[in-house]
């Protein structure tokens, strides 16, 4: 089952052949030489730290509740970019999905991790090239009598006696809100809260990123069932967010690093590691 989860995540890796060719020709040192003297990365180098805004969603971004340490494949990419290209330390300011974009706009962090490229967000911030792709899926309790024979048709779930739960302010919140007209939507601040709502049966349907939901379903095979809506709901690239107006040359440096990781199979390795960690933590 772990192999299945890994394969699903691998299918999300996307890249441009032209960018890959350019990235393969650059070492991290060569990328660093491309940094503009008064651009974003130069300011980061002067500060000595790259701040990556962190809102939790496994396996993209995970936080150890005991010691506060961050992991996940977006976290690993931030650390690698900071160390290998910018030659600075990486820090991970803790935030929520509601505040992730606002904090980026306000200069509280330099990058926002694992953001979906929605049209609304593209008006407010800039984006790197895609690291993965995203779509919304659902997890339900397969013994819930209200959900018998609903299949994967979203309209069959949009009933007044059904309650969805979703992380407030996320892409899945916005996508679900646009489609649901009759069912109740319970918006909660984090992944743990939405999962507890489903497990306690205060909610009937958990809406989340398909990566996260698939791992959650794998970790709870006795009762959990994943539903993939057909047609796909809110399929979008998942990228790093940058402040609006970031110098294109600086964005190109980050894109070259992402493309190089794709071409070398490194993002697949990081996805594998994060997926295993997410499953083992359950």
CB 176 within 8 A of CB 166: yes
Say which residue, 279 or 226, is predicted with more confidence: 226
Q: Residues 111-161: pLDDT tens digits?
A: 999 998 988 899 999 999 999 888 899 999 999 999 987 788 888 899 999
* Average pLDDT estimate for 216-237: 88
* Residues counted in the chain: 282
Whole-number Cα distances in Å, 80 to 91, 254, 261, 279: 12, 11, 10, 23
CB 205 within 8 A of CB 162: yes
CA–CA distance, 112 with 75 (Å, rounded to integer): 10
Question: pTM score, two decimals?
Answer: 0.68
CA–CA distance, 201 with 140 (Å, rounded to integer): 10
User: What does the block give as tokens for 10?
Assistant: 């691998």
With cut-offs at 50, 70 and 90, classify the pLDDT of residue 163.
Answer: very high
Q: Residues 28-59: pLDDT tens digits?
A: 555 555 555 568 999 999 999 999 999 998 88
Helix (H/G/I), strand (E/B), else coil: 133: strand
Q: Residues 175-199: pLDDT tens digits?
A: 999 999 999 999 999 989 999 999 9
* Average pLDDT estimate for 239-252: 97
Say which residue, 160 or 6, is predicted with more confidence: 160
**pLDDT for the residue numbered 218:** 82
Q: Is the pLDDT of residue 170 over 80?
A: yes
CB 223 within 8 A of CB 146: no
Please give the full DSSP string across 94-127, using - where no structure is assigned: B--TTTHHHHHHTTS-SEEEEEE--HHHHHHEEE
Q: Is the pLDDT of residue 77 over 90?
A: yes
Percent pLDDT > 90 in the chain is 64
**pLDDT for the residue numbered 159:** 93
Task: Specify the long-range contacts of residues 13-17, CB closer than 8 Å, at least 24 apart.
Answer: 13/131, 13/132, 13/262, 13/267, 13/268, 13/271, 14/130, 14/132, 14/133, 14/237, 14/262, 15/129, 15/130, 15/258, 15/259, 15/262, 15/263, 16/129, 16/259
Domain 135-234, CATH number (from 3.40.190.10, 2.40.110.20, 2.60.40.10, 3.40.50.2000) = 3.40.190.10
Percent pLDDT > 70 in the chain is 86
With cut-offs at 50, 70 and 90, classify the pLDDT of residue 26.
Answer: low
* Nearest one of 117, 124, 114 to 245, comparing CA atoms: 124
CB 258 within 8 A of CB 74: no
**pLDDT for the residue numbered 82:** 98
User: What does the block give as tokens for 30?
Assistant: 């060569």
CB 5 within 8 A of CB 215: yes
**pLDDT for the residue numbered 271:** 82
Q: Lowest mean pLDDT: which of 7-11, 209-213, 215-219?
A: 7-11
Q: Which parts of the chain fold into alpha helices (H)?
A: 2-10, 17-24, 28-33, 40-47, 73-80, 100-105, 119-124, 154-157, 171-179, 191-199, 210-219, 248-263, 266-280
Domains 2-133+236-280 and 135-234 fall in the same CATH topology: yes
Q: Is the pLDDT of residue 20 over 90?
A: no
Q: Which CATH architecture has domain 2-133+236-280?
A: 3-Layer(aba) Sandwich (3.40)
Helix (H/G/I), strand (E/B), else coil: 76: helix
**pLDDT for the residue numbered 29:** 54
Dihedral sign for Cα atoms in the order 7, 13, 16, 22 = negative
* Residues 6 or more apart whose Cβ sits within 8 Å of residue 22: 256, 259
Domain parsing of the chain, residue ranges: 2-133+236-280, 135-234
Say which residue, 11 or 252, is predicted with more confidence: 252
Q: Is the pLDDT of residue 10 over 60?
A: no
With cut-offs at 50, 70 and 90, classify the pLDDT of residue 27.
Answer: low
CA–CA distance, 252 with 173 (Å, rounded to integer): 30
Mean of per-residue pLDDT scores for the chain: 87
């Amino acid at each position: 089952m772990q192999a299945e989860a890994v394969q699903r995540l691998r299918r999300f890796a996307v890249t441009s052949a032209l960018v890959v060719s350019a990235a393969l020709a650059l070492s991290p040192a060569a990328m660093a030489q491309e940094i503009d003297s008064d651009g974003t990365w130069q300011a980061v180098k002067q500060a000595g730290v790259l701040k990556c805004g962190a809102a939790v969603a496994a396996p993209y971004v995970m936080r150890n509740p005991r010691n506060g340490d961050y992991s996940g494949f977006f976290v690993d990419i931030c650390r690698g970019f900071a160390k290998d290209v910018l030659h600075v330390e990486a820090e991970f300011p803790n935030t929520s999905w509601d505040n992730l974009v606002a904090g980026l706009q306000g200069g509280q962090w330099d990058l926002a991790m694992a953001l979906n490229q929605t049209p609304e967000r593209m008006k407010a911030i800039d984006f790197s090239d895609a690291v993965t792709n995203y779509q919304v899926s659902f997890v339900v309790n397969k013994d819930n009598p209200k959900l018998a024979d609903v299949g994967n048709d979203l309209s069959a779930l949009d009933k007044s006696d059904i309650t969805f739960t979703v992380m407030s302010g996320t892409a899945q919140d916005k996508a679900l809100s646009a489609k649901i007209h009759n069912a109740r939507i319970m918006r909660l601040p984090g992944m743990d809260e939405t999962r507890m709502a489903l497990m306690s049966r205060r909610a009937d349907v958990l809406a989340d990123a398909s990566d996260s939901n698939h791992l959650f379903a794998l970790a709870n095979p006795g009762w959990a069932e994943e539903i993939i809506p057909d047609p796909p709901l809110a399929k979008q690239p998942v990228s790093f967010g940058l402040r609006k107006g970031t110098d294109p040359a600086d964005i190109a440096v980050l894109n070259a690093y992402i493309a190089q990781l794709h071409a070398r199979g490194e993002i697949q390795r990081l996805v594998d590691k994060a997926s295993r960690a997410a499953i083992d933590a359950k």
